Chain A
Amino acid sequence: MINAAGREIPTSIQGYKNIIPYAGPFATQPSADARKAGPKLKAIYPGTNKLLQSIEEAIEASGLRDGMTISFHHAFRNGDYVMNAVIKAIAQKGIKGLTLAPSSFLDTNDELIPYFQQGVLVGAQTSGLRNKLGQFLTTNKIGTPTILRTHGGRVRAIESGELKIDVAFIAAPACDTYGNINGVDGPAACGSMGYAMVDARMADTVVAITDNLVDHPICPVSIPQHQVDFIVKVDCIGDPKGISTGALRLTSNPRDLQIAKLAAKVIERGGYFKEGFGMQLGAGAASVAAGKYLRDVMIRDKVAASFAIGGIVGPFCDLLDEGLIRTLFDVQSFDARTIQSIRDNPRHQEYDCTFYANPWNKGPMVNKLDYVVLGATEVDVNFNVNVMTDSNGIMMGALGGHPDASAGAKCTIIVAPLLRGRLPMVTDAVQTISTPGETVDVIVTDRGVAVNPKRADLIENLKGAGLPLMTIEQLRDMAYELGGKPAPLKISDEIVAVVEYRDGTVLDVIKRPLL
């Protein structure tokens, strides 16, 4: 069957739940009698010691058995030691057939490949896949197809009961002796614990793993003691160099700056740039740089944003300090400056992923966005965006909050160079749809800006702003003229991953490429 994004979706996929095809960004709602899922009822009475001696002991205590689902958070990014260490310990215990459902994978998780090969892990459910693990899961058949969910879609799946987490292992930068956790103290400080907060609330069993065990009670508390079953102290949970990038340097790449300048102009002239507007800027070079240009305009026109959300980067914290943003909501802190800010500035608020992006609650923050600026691997003439697969069809990206913010924002701006190397980035059809075109409003490239023809209001607003406005077809033609039209990939019929839209419908499938 063909879904509302125009993709052919099979009626069934082995190892995947019943398929509901994508029907539009807000078409699929929870059923009237649906109730939120929840963790097991448990009681811990006075005198109980939650402290365990080792990860092995915690695995035993958690009751982990063959076939269960385990989770981790990715706030440590490439500095994370915990996921690999825990899975190694699980494998040594001979437990098999697990589904691994972290909030995302990163480059460091290549070490997990052998465990997929050995059958310790038989399924992956995640927002992103990178590097060799991404290559492995695109080119090999494991037990079940990988399920790719947006950040909001993952919480929706957990809270609706589709994704049941048996044991959550939470890397905790600071944890007290009764299980209260925060992310702002300790050698592995990562800032917001926004992803882990969901898992702590919803998993049957929660194991905190820390290298910074402190006296009870900790302050501030991000994950409260009443959600935590066990605590394990280890020598080291992560490498600070991989966790935060240090001071984020603004790009000096002239092409990124060119794109950023145009994106900032779109924000300025799009019609929503007014006192109290709300925004999210992605963490890519051009998105971050757009903030720099926007700052100049905000100061010039005396316009302040009421809030900014998303993964937060240092330049946003500077805007907060300058009074140009009134409050930040932070689900993931990208650099040292941001970690310092969320620790020290009360207007920089930590929030969890349901508050950020879950489409099935009573209102995530993305719903209040005026603007979001996001990157793309490629876009197509229907404004569909791919951030998931590369030009060989290999999974190498992350849905992240991209589809969530795009659906919520009044104006979604996608920034990308028209060509990468010699590859056109505006094409007839993206390889994988990760964000549907009907939620995308403006494509900003270094050589031209295209507005979704559905948005006549935006087109009107952006005329006369000095922007190189053109149709998306003109952008594609320019890209093809410079780089040539890419030959279609050779793809097998074998489905290796399912791209879920944030509401749990099937937006696209990823098939094993014939390399």
Chain B
Amino acid sequence: MNKERLRRTVMYAAGNNPGLIQNAAIYGADSVIFDVEDSVSVAEKDSARQLVYHALKSLKFPCEIGVRINHISTPWGYKDLEYLLPAKPDYIRLPKGESGDEIRDIDKIITKAEEECGFEPGSIKIMVSIESPKGLRNAYEIASASPRMIAIAIGGEDFAASLKTEKTRGNTITGGRELYVARSMIVFAAREAGIQAIDSVFSDMRDEETLINEVALVKELGFDGKSCVNPRQIDIIHQVFTPSDKEIDYAHRVLNVFKEALANNSGVIALDGKMIDMPMVIRAERVLAIASAAGVYQKEESI
């Protein structure tokens, strides 16, 4: 696992539901999170913890699996870590992140667990969701608090609530304005720290059109992927985040003319009458990297 791993979709499955856990990873999500936090009632916290532990220990999953723990300020957070780390999830997802100290605290606990269990040091990663103005103000500090950090995410509903407003439907013209600044700041912090940015869930399963608009919006803002709670959304999100044949073809041609220009030592590069400069080359490289990770493009040669 690495920081640049494809995470177009990060799907939650309630940690107290055996049927969901058993099948969560078969729908093609890039990453799956077993949740023992908000989707599990107080009375079931311990049983969910045990179920997730045994699922991690005894089942094989075809994708990356994280565990969303309760925040360490709650009565369950540290116990979640203590119980679940020996089952070696790929990452811990911390909700409601507000400071770098929390991350450093969790990092220490993970380091200790890795030592005790004989896991490769640094192999268990951390993803944090930011759900409050304080967390947002500290977003870069959080994102860079540990080398284990792979992504920060925005918890849209909670964030909107903490602003004393509500999450509106993101569409490309008017929607999602209440999260506009927060989303962008998440992307800034993630990019500065060199990790990924993940958008929050879109909860109306039946409204595919608005979902597509919202995914297009956050992709435009720079996000790497989006959380979801229903497998039906996976294909739609992937479709937006996966480069189209046309984009792949264009990226390919950009890199080819760039390579030619390098070989010929020519200063100005043009393609289809448009000037190609360095940012476009970097973008083309990124398009092909994502396409390759998504399995829709095979690298012919290194460029």
Contacts and interface: CB of A to CB of B under 8 A. Distances in A.
B22 A254 contact: no
Contacts of A252: 205, 232
Contacts of A255: 23, 26
A254 B59 contact: no
B232 A254 contact: yes
Interface in A238-276: 252, 254-255, 257-258
A412 to B, nearest CB: 24
Contacts of B231: 254, 257-258
Nearest to A445: B26
Interface string B222-248: 000000001110000000000000000
B26 A258 contact: yes
B27 interface: yes
A466 interface: yes
- Interface of B, secondary structure class, is helix
A132 interface: no
Contacts of B295: 466
Nearest to A419: B22
Contact of A257 (B22, B60, B232): B232
Contacts of A446: 23, 26
Interface string B18-38: 000011001100000000000
A447 interface: yes
A466 B242 CA distance: 15
A178 to B, nearest CB: 51
Contacts of B22: 419, 482
Contacts of B23: 254-255, 446
Contacts of A466: 295
Contacts of A419: 22
Contacts of A482: 22, 59
B277 to A, nearest CB: 36
A447 B26 contact: yes
B213 to A, nearest CB: 20
Mostly, the A contact residues are helix
Nearest to B231: A254
A473 B268 CA distance: 59
Interface residues of A, number: 11
A481 B23 CA distance: 14
- Which interface residue of A252, A254, A482 has the most chain B CB atoms within 10 A? A254
Interface in A443-497: 446-447, 466, 481-482
A258 B59 contact: no
Contacts of B26: 255, 258, 446-447
A93 to B, nearest CB: 52
A481 B26 CA distance: 16
Nearest to A478: B60
B143 to A, nearest CB: 32
A482 B22 CA distance: 9
A421 to B, nearest CB: 9
A482 B59 CA distance: 7
Interface string A410-421: 000000000100
A144 to B, nearest CB: 42
A419 B27 CA distance: 15
A447 B26 CA distance: 6
Interface string B77-97: 000000000000000000000
A255 B232 CA distance: 10
B208 to A, nearest CB: 13
Contacts of B60: 481
A447 B230 CA distance: 17
Contacts of B205: 252
Contacts of B230: 254
A466 B59 CA distance: 23
A328 to B, nearest CB: 29
B221 to A, nearest CB: 28
Nearest to A259: B26
Contacts of B232: 252, 254, 257
Nearest to A447: B26
B97 to A, nearest CB: 30
Interface in B22-66: 22-23, 26-27, 59-60
Nearest to B295: A466
Nearest to A483: B22
A257 B236 CA distance: 14
A255 B295 CA distance: 23
B63 to A, nearest CB: 13
A252 B230 CA distance: 10
A481 B59 CA distance: 9
Nearest to A254: B231
Contacts of A447: 26
A257 B232 CA distance: 8
A123 B232 CA distance: 48
A481 B58 CA distance: 10
Nearest to B25: A447
A254 B232 CA distance: 6
Nearest to B24: A254
A466 B238 CA distance: 14
B271 to A, nearest CB: 29
Interface string A34-78: 000000000000000000000000000000000000000000000
Name the residue in A258, A446, A447, A466 with the highest tally of chain B Cβ atoms < 10 Å from its Cβ.
Answer: A258
B62 to A, nearest CB: 9
A135 to B, nearest CB: 27
Interface in A369-414: none
22 contacts: A252-B205, A252-B232, A254-B23, A254-B27, A254-B230, A254-B231, A254-B232, A255-B23, A255-B26, A257-B231, A257-B232, A258-B26, A258-B27, A258-B231, A419-B22, A446-B23, A446-B26, A447-B26, A466-B295, A481-B60, A482-B22, A482-B59
Given A254-B232, A258-B231, A466-B295, 11 more contacts: A252-B205, A252-B232, A254-B23, A254-B230, A258-B27, A419-B22, A446-B23, A446-B26, A447-B26, A481-B60, A482-B59
Cβ-closest 3 pairs across A and B = A254-B231, A446-B26, A447-B26
